[in-house]
Amino acid sequence: MAAAPSGPKELPRRRSASQICPPPRRPRTLAEVQPGSENERLGVARDSMVQNPLIAKAELGKPRRSCYTLPGYDFAYGLYLHGADGGVPEAIGHWHSMKPRPPSPREMPRNYVAMNRGALKAGYVTAREFNLYRQLKDIRCNEDDESRFKRAAPKVPPDMTYGILARPSTPFFDLLQHRYKEVWMEQQRAVTMARRVEKKKVTKGKVYETRTTLLRKQPPPVKLDSLWHMPHFQKPGGILQRKGRRELG
């Protein structure tokens, strides 16, 4: 049996933006918390039951409602711009020229260098005297010094090239042939050979010093002891002087 020709396939229906993102649920009203309703609350129905999110009861199987009071369904959110400028015809037919505004007077910064120099010339030294001098003579910077037209551009050599220097290419052939390893090994061998030659030169011409040779070169100083005297012969001059004084007295 031949299959019956099927009709055109129905394309899947696209959902609208309101179906994908439905509008937020309206805040709960006091009529919805009265006895006998789905959201019945015990006690007296108060405004805080629908305005306080901490005590608002969640509904089963439904998203949580907002506790803020919202305007009606016919309210349009956003800013309404009144077309009072005339549009394109007004712009083509009239040309509103902007008048330049006079530059506002700029308060120049204080010239502390000149004030400190003047205070030193006047003989002031302490910080309090400096502050009093600055209050008495408020010197401001000159407007010509702050002008941007007097600031010259930095001097640049004529052959200067702007930008970043290009990175040198990587020597792949030297890397594959381990050229850097061989160069490093040759340098290490040359350093080792130079150390060995220097060590041989030092050991051949060096004479080791011993304690005997050092004592011969620098003998220790000899301590000269005084001769021994009997106790009753020590300091005889003092005894004779005393006896002479007694006889004279």
Of 48 and 86, the structure prediction assigns the larger pLDDT to 48
pLDDT-above-90 percentage for the chain: 14
Whether 9 has a pLDDT exceeding 60, the answer reads yes
Mean model confidence pLDDT for the chain? 77
State the pLDDT at residue 132: 92
Nearest CA among 1, 2, 59 for reference residue 26: 59
The answer to whether the CB of 67 falls within 8 A of the CB of 51 is yes
State the pLDDT at residue 73: 72
Of 5 and 143, the structure prediction assigns the larger pLDDT to 143
Q: Which of 78-92, 94-108, 180-194 has the lowest mean pLDDT?
A: 78-92
Q: What is the pLDDT of residues 198-224, one digit of tens each?
A: 888 766 666 778 888 888 888 888 877
Q: What is the pLDDT of residues 110-134, one digit of tens each?
A: 899 999 999 999 999 899 999 999 9
Q: What is the pLDDT of residues 143-194, one digit of tens each?
A: 766 565 556 667 888 888 888 888 888 888 888 888 899 999 999 999 999 9
Task: Specify the DSSP class assigned to residue 140.
Answer: B
Cα–Cα distance between 122 and 46 in angstroms, integer? 79
State the pLDDT at residue 223: 79
Cα–Cα distance between 47 and 65 in angstroms, integer? 15
Q: What percent of the residues of the chain are helix, what percent strand, and what percent coil, each to the nearest 5?
A: 40, 0, 60
Of 7 and 97, the structure prediction assigns the larger pLDDT to 97
Residue that the structure tokens 């608002």 belong to: 56
Write down the domain spans for the chain: 17-80, 107-149, 172-205
Does the predicted model carry a pTM greater than 0.75? no
Give the length of the chain.
249
State the pLDDT at residue 172: 86
Give residue 62's pLDDT band: very low, low, confident or very high (50, 70, 90). Answer: confident
